[in-house]
């Protein structure tokens, strides 16, 4: 099999199980404004396109709700204080990253999560990650599924972001990740322990799957 030198990971649902902390912060914000709360299964379906869209999906009327910006701000403030309450790496992730790093591979994370939260989580759980990029649009870098954050990660790794010249692979758990990899011109490996199941991923174009992090060492 092809061996890659650069591994670019999604974060939520791929490296970290963040669902409970996200759900707690969403529902906390909704409670403050006397709005109906959501089950974890609903939150699971809402995530993947950044926290603003997560809240647009969670709030009745979405961004058209007259208090949406206040609700969104309440969510962000709560999540920044509670992002580490229950969030943990999936089983086998730290060992997999350590092994890749020991083999001389470069590692990056690109996420639609807020930049501050992304970098805090990576620093806390995965110090071996070389580059961590979160929501970055204020600098003209569009969020996933645009390829911008992938190209920015490659730039920070010192690599020219031309797919034909890069021995890199993208690893994620959602349809957004499949689209991002395609838009960046990179192969995509879809994980089956995250927020989407195999049937859903196949329906959105996934072709390569792993069921446990150790399997990534074969690529």
**pLDDT tens-digit series, residues 2-25:** 579 999 999 999 999 999 999 999
56-81 average pLDDT score: 96
How high is the pLDDT of residue 118?
92
For residue 6, give the nearest of 74, 85, 105 by alpha carbon: 105
Local confidence band at 133 (pLDDT 50, 70, 90 cut-offs): very high
Q: Residue 192 is encoded by which pair of tokens?
A: 């089956």
Give the pTM.
0.91
Tokens for 112, please give them: 């639609």
Residues carrying an active site annotation: 10
Residues β-bridged to residue 107? 7
The pLDDT score that the predictor gives to residue 137 is 61
Predicted pLDDT at 138: 65
Q: What is the mean pLDDT of residues 62-89?
A: 96
Lowest mean pLDDT among 79-88, 132-141, 160-169: 160-169
Q: What does the pLDDT read at residue 61?
A: 95
For residue 69, pLDDT over 50 is answered with yes
- Give me the pLDDT at residue 1, please: 45
Of 59-68, 125-134, 154-163, the one with minimum mean pLDDT is: 154-163
Looking at residue 193, its pLDDT comes to 97
Question: In the predicted model, what is the mean pLDDT of residues 78-90?
Answer: 95
Separation between Cα atoms, residue 181 and residue 139, nearest integer Å: 21
Quote the pLDDT of residue 165.
65
- The pLDDT tens digits for 27-60 are 999 999 999 999 999 999 998 788 899 999 999 9
Whether 197 shows a pLDDT value over 60: the answer reads yes
């Amino acid at each position: 099999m092809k061996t890659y030198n650069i591994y670019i990971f999604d974060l939520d649902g791929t490296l970290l199980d963040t669902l409970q902390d996200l759900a707690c912060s969403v529902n906390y914000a909704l409670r403050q404004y006397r709005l109906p709360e959501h089950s974890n299964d609903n939150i699971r379906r809402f995530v993947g396109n950044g926290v603003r869209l997560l809240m647009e999906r969670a709030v009745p009327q979405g961004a058209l709700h007259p208090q949406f910006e206040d609700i969104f701000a309440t969510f962000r403030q709560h999540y920044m204080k509670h992002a580490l309450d229950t969030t943990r790496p999936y089983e086998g992730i730290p060992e997999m990253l350590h092994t890749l790093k020991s083999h001389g591979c470069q590692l990056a994370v690109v996420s639609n999560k807020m930049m501050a939260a992304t970098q805090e989580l990576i620093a806390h759980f995965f110090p071996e990650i070389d580059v961590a990029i979160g929501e970055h649009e204020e600098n003209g870098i569009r969020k996933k599924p645009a390829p911008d954050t992938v190209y920015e990660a490659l730039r920070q790794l010192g690599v020219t972001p031309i797919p034909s010249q890069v021995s890199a692979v993208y690893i994620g758990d959602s349809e957004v990740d499949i689209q991002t990899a395609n838009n960046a011109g990179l192969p995509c490996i879809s994980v089956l322990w995250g927020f989407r199941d195999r049937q859903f991923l196949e329906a959105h174009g996934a072709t390569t799957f792993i069921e446990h992090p150790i399997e990534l060492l074969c690529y």
